[in-house]
Amino acid sequence: MGDIADLTAKTYDIARLIPPGRVTSYGHIAKLAGYPTYSRHRVVNSKGIISPRGDFGLGVARQKERLEDEGVEVETLTGAGGERVDLRRWGWFPETLPQDGEE
C-alpha cells in the first residue's frame, strides 16, 4: 500500500477509536499512524487561520514559513488575529479524492 493510502486507512482506523466525548488533532492522528510530519502544515482551520498550538507562536511561525516556501500567501491579521490563508485562492476542496498521480 502506498504512503498516502496507508496514512488514509490508518487515519480512519484511529479516528474510529476516539471515544465519545473526546477529541484529538490531525497532527496527533498522523503521529499515531507513524507519519508525525506528514504535510500537516497544509491544514488550516475552516476560516483559513493557522491554529495556535500553545507554544508561544512557534508552531504558527513554522507553518507560515513552510506554506510561504510553497508559494502560499499568508496574511498577518491585526491584533491577536493570527495568520490567515485566503481559502478562495489557496483552498483545496475536491469533491472526491484524486487518484494516484492526479492533483
Q: pLDDT, tens digit, for every residue of 11-61?
A: 888 888 887 877 777 777 888 888 877 777 788 888 889 988 888 889 899
The reported pLDDT for the residue numbered 20 is: 80
Residue 97 is predicted with a pLDDT of: 60
Q: Provide the 3-class DSSP secondary structure of residue 28.
A: helix
Q: Is the pLDDT of residue 1 over 60?
A: no
Q: How far is CA 40 from the centre of its chain?
A: 4
- Assign 74 a pLDDT band (cuts: 50, 70, 90): very high
pLDDT of residue 93: 80
Distance CA 56, CA 73 (A): 22
Measured CA to CA, the distance from residue 37 to residue 101 in angstroms comes to: 21
Residue that wins the pLDDT comparison between 16 and 2: 16
Contact (Cβ atoms closer than 8 angstroms) between residue 16 and residue 38: no
Distance between CA atoms of 82 and 61, rounded to whole angstroms?
10
Residue 101: pLDDT over 70: no
Q: How far apart are CA 69 and CA 34, in angstroms?
A: 25
Whole-angstrom Cα distance, residue 63 to residue 55? 13
Residue, of 28 and 66, whose pLDDT is higher: 66
Does the pTM exceed 0.75? no
